[in-house]
């Protein structure tokens, strides 16, 4: 159901690679809610993915930008304002990539060149985006910037590797810049800490299927999927959340406040009965 929550709002949406991407679902929901926006992704991802289909579906233009390059970000912000006819009301930063994860380097055997690329793409890029936008005065009063995070920023999760550091840094940048940008221009900056979600980035994580099942059984509401995430992001872009800033907002069906659930305990006890001999 649509509520016209984003009528007259102009946005930029990063990270729609294919129809599984969270960025893709956010674009579809934002379109339903009346927003107009520009879609962006890295040039290689535009070639490999299916963003043109989304652009057609939502009446949007696609502007390539490597999120680590300031000149690409300035061009994106300038062109977006020209295309949309004014300052930007909302931005979704839905970007993450770890070469260490891709190359299957374990956390105690990291390549440090890769590690800096992980941090640059997945976290520093938010700072670069905000700093560039602020210098250009490209965001409207009470504009809303949302970046996507994961609970491995706070707790240790096997297999998440150096993306954990990237997400901690991302959340910290949202707080620090949220203060600076809120004070001077009322611009809001938040991170949404999302459940494991079946996308290209998600399924790159080692042991993802087990993790997905575990968090689903642990959360009283079950995992939040990409469509749920899109609904939540739309509320954060809307005027209904004008005083929400500098927050890391868990969107995970309750997982972050759980210790043990009956559904997980059931599976665990069953395993113990079957594989652990009585004398243990």
Cβ-based nearer residue to ligand NAD, 34 or 231: 231
Cβ-based nearer residue to ligand NAD, 257 or 274: 257
The distance of closest approach from Cβ of residue 69 to ligand NAD in the complex, given in angstroms and rounded to an integer, is 8
Q: Starting from the edge strand earliest in sequence, which strands make up the sheet with 248-251, in order?
A: 61-62, 36-40, 10-14, 88-93, 139-149, 188-194, 248-251
Our CA angle for 230, 21, 68, nearest 5°, is 105
Report the C-alpha gap between 127 and 262 in whole angstroms.
41
Report the C-alpha gap between 196 and 252 in whole angstroms.
8
> Which 135-154 residues touch ligand NAD, going by CB under 6 A?
148-150
**Alpha carbon 65 to chain centroid distance?**
17
The distance of closest approach from Cβ of residue 60 to ligand NAD in the complex, given in angstroms and rounded to an integer, is 15
Sequence-ordered list of residues with C-beta below 8 angstroms from that of 268, at least 6 positions apart, any chain = none
Cβ-based nearer residue to ligand NAD, 150 or 214: 150
Q: Which stretch binds ligand NAD (CB under 6 A): 19-27, 52-60, 78-86, 254-262?
A: 19-27
**Number of residues lying near ligand NAD (CB under 6 A):** 27
Cβ-based nearer residue to ligand NAD, 3 or 158: 158
Sequence-ordered list of residues with C-beta below 8 angstroms from that of 231, at least 6 positions apart, any chain = 29
Contacting ligand NAD (CB under 6 A), which of 11, 96, 178, 253?
96
Which position's Cβ is nearest ligand NAD? 202
- Go through 148-174 and write b for each residue having 16 or more CB atoms within 10 A of its CB, e for each that does not: bbbbbbbeebebbbbbbbbbebbbbbb
Report the C-alpha gap between 91 and 113 in whole angstroms.
29
> Which 180-239 residues touch ligand NAD, going by CB under 6 A?
194, 196-197, 199-202
Q: Write each residue from 98 to 117 as x if it is in contact with ligand NAD (CB under 6 A), else as -, in one continuous string.
A: --------------------
Contact flag: residue 68 with ligand NAD (CB under 6 A): yes
Contact flag: residue 121 with ligand NAD (CB under 6 A): yes
Alpha-carbon dihedral sign for residues 39, 55, 186, 171: negative
Cβ-based nearer residue to ligand NAD, 6 or 46: 46
Per CB under 6 A, residues contacting ligand NAD are 14-15, 17, 21-23, 41-42, 45, 66-68, 94-97, 121, 148-150, 194, 196-197, 199-202
């Amino acid at each position: 159901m649509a509520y016209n929550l984003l009528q007259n709002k102009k946005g930029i949406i990063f990270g729609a690679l294919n129809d599984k991407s969270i960025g893709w679902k956010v674009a579809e929901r934002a379109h339903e809610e009346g927003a107009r926006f520009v879609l962006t992704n890295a040039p290689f991802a535009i070639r490999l993915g299916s963003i043109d289909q989304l652009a057609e579906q939502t009446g949007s233009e696609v502007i390539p930008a490597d999120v680590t390059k300031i000149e690409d970000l300035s061009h994106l912000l300038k062109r977006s304002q020209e295309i949309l006819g004014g300052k930007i009301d909302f931005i979704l930063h839905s970007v993450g990539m770890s070469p260490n994860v891709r190359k299957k380097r374990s956390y105690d055997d990291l390549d440090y060149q890769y590690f800096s690329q992980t941090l640059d793409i997945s976290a520093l890029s938010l700072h670069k985006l905000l700093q560039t936008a602020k210098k250009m005065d490209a965001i409207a009063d009470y504009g809303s910037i949302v970046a996507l995070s994961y609970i491995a920023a706070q707790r240790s999760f096997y297999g998440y590797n150096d993306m954990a550091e990237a997400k901690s840094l991302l959340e910290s940048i949202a707080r620090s810049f949220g203060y600076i940008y809120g004070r001077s221009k009322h611009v809001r900056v938040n991170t949404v800490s999302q459940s494991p979600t079946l996308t290209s980035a998600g399924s790159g994580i080692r042991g993802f299927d087990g993790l997905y099942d575990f968090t689903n059984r642990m959360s009283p509401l079950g995992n939040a999927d990409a469509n749920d995430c899109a609904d939540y992001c739309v509320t954060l872009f809307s005027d209904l959340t004008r005083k929400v800033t500098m927050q890391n907002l868990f969107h995970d069906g309750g997982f972050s406040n759980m210790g043990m659930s009956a559904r997980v305990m059931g599976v665990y006890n069953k395993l113990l009965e079957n594989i652990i001999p009585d004398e243990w």
